[in-house]
Structure formats: structure tokens, C-alpha cells
Structure 1
């Protein structure tokens, strides 16, 4: 944080396919701006060359090779986008981060120790949010919008993913990352989820001795 300016907080949203991560991030930005915060929203994999390579080639790249692509995209994302916005005093909200790697890369057969080693030098979030939903509901949402990759097919995949994200939340907490208790979005309206997260972000800013600014917001 730049002394005497506005809050600098790195918030990540991870969770199973169909839990509403992208919708939540899209609504969270305006909600926080209305509370007086400067906010920058972003996502991983990024739309850059590394991110597109990882996103569009999950059938070609698997295991350790995919894990390395995802990590490379993450470090470039940190260097070129996340860290600069944090230095400016923005709240940065990222759709998918390390928790997704813990789940998807382990699901792909990569040992946790390898995933941890790849991400060892990546900035840890100031607050991590994890979303889950009933596997049947999540599967229907994915079917309605279309699966993005090979990890997102069917109820059985949803059950596996939900359990792994709950485990990831516990693991992040053990590492000292402040974690919002895993939020079940099955029967909750998106606005309710957003308001809960926004309140926790405000509390986290307060814990760090920061508050909203009346200065302009970012995209």
C-alpha cells in the first residue's frame, strides 16, 4: 500500500465449475466501488499468450506440463498486472488463483509437493474465497453454458471437485492465508454471495488498518 492513499488488498476467488465464480467477480467489482474502494478485477488463465496456451490446450497438455504452463502464466500475470495495481493501492480481485492449481493439477495427477514448489514464489492472497455448489446444480449450470475444458463434465466430476476445494480451503488456512469459509452457492442469489464477500473484504481491510477511499475506481 502507498502510505496515506487507499487500500491495497489481493483477493482471490476459486471454486468448482458452475459455482458462479465469474458472475461473482463481475458483480463484486461494482459493489466494492459503491463502497468507496478502488478495484481491479482480473482472471486466470489470462488472455495473454501463456494463458491462452494453457486454457485452450488442456487435451494436449496434461500433468506436470500443464501445471508448468499455468504457473508461468501466473508469474507473468503477477509481474505485469496484479503487482502494479496493488502498488497503486487497488483492491485486486482475481477469478482463479493458487487454490485452483491445488485442485485441478492434483486432479490431473500432479503431486501436491510439485504444485507447491511451482507456486512457492507466487504472492499469497490477503483473502481467499472458495465457492462450491451441489454437484447436480453445478453440472446443470455447466451444461447450460458449455464446458470449458475436460475437467468440467458431469455430476461425478462436480462431486470430486467440491471435495477437493474444501480440502484446498483447509490447506490454505494451514498455510496462514485468511480464507472466507467455503460458500455454498446452490440456493443463494448471486447478490447475497457478493454482499457476504464484500463485507468480509471490508473487514479484512479494517484488520489491516485500511479503509475505503473517495478517489476514483479502476476497471
Structure 2
């Protein structure tokens, strides 16, 4: 098992269009206002590997894309996330392993292969599985604009919703602390709910002073 670090890793998961980026930004601002040291990031990362994964979904398919996403995650952990955790920061990550579990399976890669590719990643202290009615998410996604091959697929929000429900069960079975958070309300209300979960996590952490 990977040694636990002083910081706290919080990840945000959910279908495209559910509001992950907006929620991550709001939570970042609220934590900083509380005087908490925060490092906010995203996956795929802004590194060259991440840029390939982010903008290459029409070029890289199934196993190639799964390997690319996993490689970027391992690299980002080593170069960015783990150092921030070692400094005692709260790291907020927009997408993490659950996104790979869902999207790579939609791309035809078996779950056991996706999990093996991500072997050794740092387990989050809190996984926020953002949830909203698929029809609502689909409308948001089309209004926002599709960013990838996955998001252009018809009915993707419904397929992702099913995928994230299964991923939540799977990750909980692996001992990951997953909390399902309803995003049907105003984003600030959702962010407030997550802030409460983070403060509870910080109080329960053995590394918390």
C-alpha cells in the first residue's frame, strides 16, 4: 500500500456536463477563503502526455487511449500531486481513476485491464461522485459543447450515468471513500456540501494536526 502523505486528495468524478470544473473552482475558492492551502488540478493533465489524451480522442482509441490516460496519471502523480500532498496541501483533482473506469470501458477496454493500468495510484481521501439526472446533464453538455469523441456520442449522458453507478460500487469495494453528491441544485449549494465533506475528512485524518 502506498504510504499516506500529510495532505488530502479530493477527486471530482461524473459525466461530462455534470459540473465538475465549476464545482472544483468553487470549492477551491471556498477552501482558500478558509485559509487552507489548496492545489487544484485536472486530468488529463496539462503536461504533454495529458494534452495528447485530452485532444486525441479521435486519434487514440481503446487500449491506446487507456494506456495514454494511465501514463499521464502516473506521471502527474509523481511530478505534481504527490509533491503537493507531501507539503500538506489539499489537492483537488477534476477527474481521476473513476473517469478511466467509465470511459475506457465504454471504449471496449475490460475493467480488469483498466484497473491494472492504474495499479499503484494514490488512493484519494475523498471521491466526490457528482450526480444529476442524465437528461439534465445531456442538456448541459449540448449547451456547453462537446469536448471529445465520447461526448459527441448520442445518449452519452445516460451511458455515463450507468457507468459511474457501477464505478462507484467497484471503487467502494476496493476500499475507496466515495461520496455521491447531488448536483441538481445551485452549484454553490453543491460546493458547500462538498466543503462540509472535506472538513469532515480533514478532522478524521490521522495526519491532521
- State TM-score, norm by structure 1: 0.89
- Higher mean displacement: 150-159 or 132-141: 150-159
CA distance in 1, matches of 2:96, 2:172: 15
CA distance in 1, matches of 2:154, 2:208: 42
Aligned to 2:158: 159
Q: Does 1:121 align with 2:116?
A: no
Cα–Cα, structure 1 residues 71 and 136, in superposed 2: closer, same or farther, change >3 Å? same
* Unpaired runs of at least 5, structure 2: 1-5
Q: Does 1:183 align with 2:181?
A: yes
- State TM-score, norm by structure 2: 0.93
Aligned to 1:192: 189
- Higher mean displacement: 146-155 or 34-43: 146-155
**Helix, strand or coil at the partner of 1:50:** helix
Aligned to 1:130: 129
* Unpaired runs of at least 5, structure 1: 1-6, 213-219
| 1:196-215 equivalence runs, <5 A | 196-209=193-206
Quote the offset at 1:210 in angstroms: 5.2
Aligned to 1:174: 173
Q: Does 1:93 align with 2:92?
A: yes
**Helix, strand or coil at the partner of 1:36:** coil
Alignment coverage as a number of residue pairs: 205
State the superposition RMSD in angstroms.
Answer: 1.6
Aligned to 1:63: 62
Aligned to 1:3: none
Aligned to 2:28: 29
Quote the offset at 1:154 in angstroms: 5.9
CA distance in 1, matches of 2:30, 2:170: 29
CA distance in 2, matches of 1:43, 1:72: 14
CA distance in 1, matches of 2:141, 2:155: 13
| 1:138-149 equivalence runs, <5 A | 138-149=137-148
